[in-house]
Amino acid sequence: MTCESCGGEEATLTEVQRMYVTPAAWDTEESVKPAQGTEQWCEPCMLHYPHQVVEHS
Ligand SMILES: [Zn+2]
């Protein structure tokens, strides 16, 4: 399977929702916006980029 973030071939991928983080500046507060839709990510990408794991119930 191919990770949709780094394009690497990984045996195990996790469905996540990418989060876009805008750091706080002198005139704005930090903002965190979820991306549209979900992606399949490998473990290194989950360590390096902000995201939320999609829970299937
Ligand atoms: Zn990856």
pLDDT digits (tens, 9 = 90+) for 18-31: 999 999 999 999 99
Tokens representing residue 14 in the block: 């996790």
Nearest Cα to 48, choosing from 4, 1, 2, 5?
5
* Residue 16, amino acid: V
How close is the Cα of 22 to the center of ligand 1, in Å? 21
How close is the Cα of 7 to the center of ligand 1, in Å? 6
How close is the Cα of 27 to the center of ligand 1, in Å? 34
The span from the CA of 39 to the CA of 45, in Å, is 11
Rounded mean pLDDT for each run of 10 residues along the chain, 57 residues in total? 97 97 96 96 97 91
Residue-level pLDDT at 57: 80
Chain mean pLDDT for the chain: 96
How close is the Cα of 3 to the center of ligand 1, in Å? 5
